[in-house]
């Protein structure tokens, strides 16, 4: 299986359960790996045959930047759903770090893996932030 990855995408968003967290944007760092068969793209040397990771990054910046979830768990799940359903990939791993969330720790976060079958019955409206 081939993988495409995007590392250390920094986005400011509203995320958290405390009142002050609902008023101040905080930085989250996102790492993504996704399954993609790149052989056709490599043979054709054309972007139409692979996942356009620039488009993926822009979509994530917009989606996460506009989101207002309370839990990083919810945000991470919504990111995975978005990638699988909008970019039509069979598998994704999403790691989200909320830096500075715990005193004494560099960061804290969530890492999940999802397959297309996990979202077989989901509709795109379930992704909205």
Is pLDDT above 80 for 123?
A: no
Q: What is the mean predicted confidence (pLDDT) over 34-44?
A: 94
| Beta strand ranges found along 16-90 (DSSP E) | 26-35, 68-69
How many angstroms separate the Cα of 87 from the Cα of each of 58, 82, 90? 13, 8, 9
Percent of the chain with pLDDT over 70: 94
- Give the CA diameter of the chain: 52
Q: Is 98 an active-site residue?
A: yes
Is pLDDT above 70 for 64?
A: yes
Q: 3-class DSSP state for residue 39?
A: helix
Residue 76 near residue 98, CB atoms below 8 Å: no
Per the listing, tokens 């759903």 go with 81
Q: Mean pLDDT check: name the lowest of 46-50, 106-110, 122-126.
A: 122-126
Catalytic residue among 3, 54, 93, 98: 98
What are the chain's domains? 3-127 (3.30.1130.10)
Residue 32 near residue 61, CB atoms below 8 Å: no
| Beta strand ranges found along the chain (DSSP E) | 3-15, 26-35, 68-69, 91-99, 107-115
CA separation for the pair 96, 114 (Å, rounded) = 14
Confidence of residue 23 (pLDDT cuts 50, 70, 90): very high
Is pLDDT above 70 for 129?
A: no
């Amino acid at each position: 299986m081939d993988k495409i990855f995007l590392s250390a995408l920094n986005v400011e968003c509203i995320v958290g359960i405390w009142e002050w967290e609902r008023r101040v944007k905080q930085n989250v760092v996102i790492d993504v790996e996704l399954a993609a068969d790149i052989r056709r793209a490599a043979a054709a040397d054309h972007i139409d045959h692979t996942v356009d990771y620039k488009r993926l990054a822009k979509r994530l910046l917009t989606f996460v930047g506009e989101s207002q979830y309370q839990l990083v768990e919810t945000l991470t799940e919504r990111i995975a759903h978005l990638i699988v359903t909008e970019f039509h990939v069979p598998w994704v791993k999403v790691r989200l770090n909320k830096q500075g969330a715990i005193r004494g720790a560099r960061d804290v976060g969530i890492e999940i893996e999802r397959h297309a079958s996990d979202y077989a019955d989901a509709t795109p409206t379930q992704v909205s932030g």
